[in-house]
Amino acid sequence: MLLQIPDILTAGEIAQCRAVLKASPWVDGRVTAGDQAAGAKHNLQIPEESETARELGMVILRALARSPAFNSAVLPLRVLPPMFNRYDPAMTYGFHVDNSIRAIPGSGGLRMRADVSTTIFLGDPEEYDGGELIVEDTYGTKSVKLPAGHAVVYPSSSLHRVSPVTRGSRWASFFFTQSMVRDDGLRAMLYDLDMAIIDLRQELGDGHHAVLSLVNHYHNLLRRWAEL
């Protein structure tokens, strides 16, 4: 399931991220790529262990915590600390798949499974040409280029790339989540059911028996499928 989530970040949070990133040093993005992906990757990143990454990572995590759409679609169990990248003219990232297992920084060697990848755009589309996120899934190829503060979530198992930037600079935050429900198809079913319940609550009210029955069904499915 590929889902676009608008306005995860407020205008103030976007401005804060951009101001801090503008004043921070960037390094070669290949430092976080696997052996195969490194050959296709040509961008810049903020060092993962830097104060900038920690400060802005907390901004991102607070925004995720208050987003019903993110939590419903992703069902997060663990979120890898958010990272930040930049694509200047001629920079690109060819087709690749994200690593399935990630080390959690500062955890003493703990690892997590990457089920869902997320990109939060930190610049508006008119600020740069190119730089689309291209994701291949079972329903074809999708091209994503969103306004600042908007996010896209998609399965980490998807082949994807960032098309070459030809003008301007593309800034974004990206990170990986281990979901309570590892199977993308099951997560999509739960998300669709949750959206239907929200619609019915507005139409029928929280106390209607049909609403309560569907809520019960949702939680029993989550209880069956969740891994904690």
Which two three-digit tokens encode residue 42? 């040509």
- The H or E element spanning position 24 is none
**Are residues 121 and 150 in contact, defined by beta-carbon separation less than 8 angstroms?**
yes
223: β partners: none
What phi and psi, each to the nearest 5 degrees, are found at residue 180? -65, -25
CA 136-73-139 angle, to 5 degrees, is 25
CA gap 120, 208 in Å, rounded: 37
Contacts of 41 (CB under 8 A, 6+ apart): 29, 30, 33, 93, 94, 96
The reply to whether 96 sits in an annotated binding site is yes
The reply to whether 115 sits in an annotated binding site is no
CA gap 204, 2 in Å, rounded: 29
**Are residues 97 and 33 in contact, defined by beta-carbon separation less than 8 angstroms?**
no
The reply to whether 208 sits in an annotated binding site is no
**182-206 as b/e: b if 16+ CB within 10 A:** bebebbbbbbebbeebeebbeeeee
Name the binding residues for 2-oxoglutarate: 170
Name the binding residues for Fe cation: 96, 98, 160
Name the binding residues: 96, 98, 160, 170
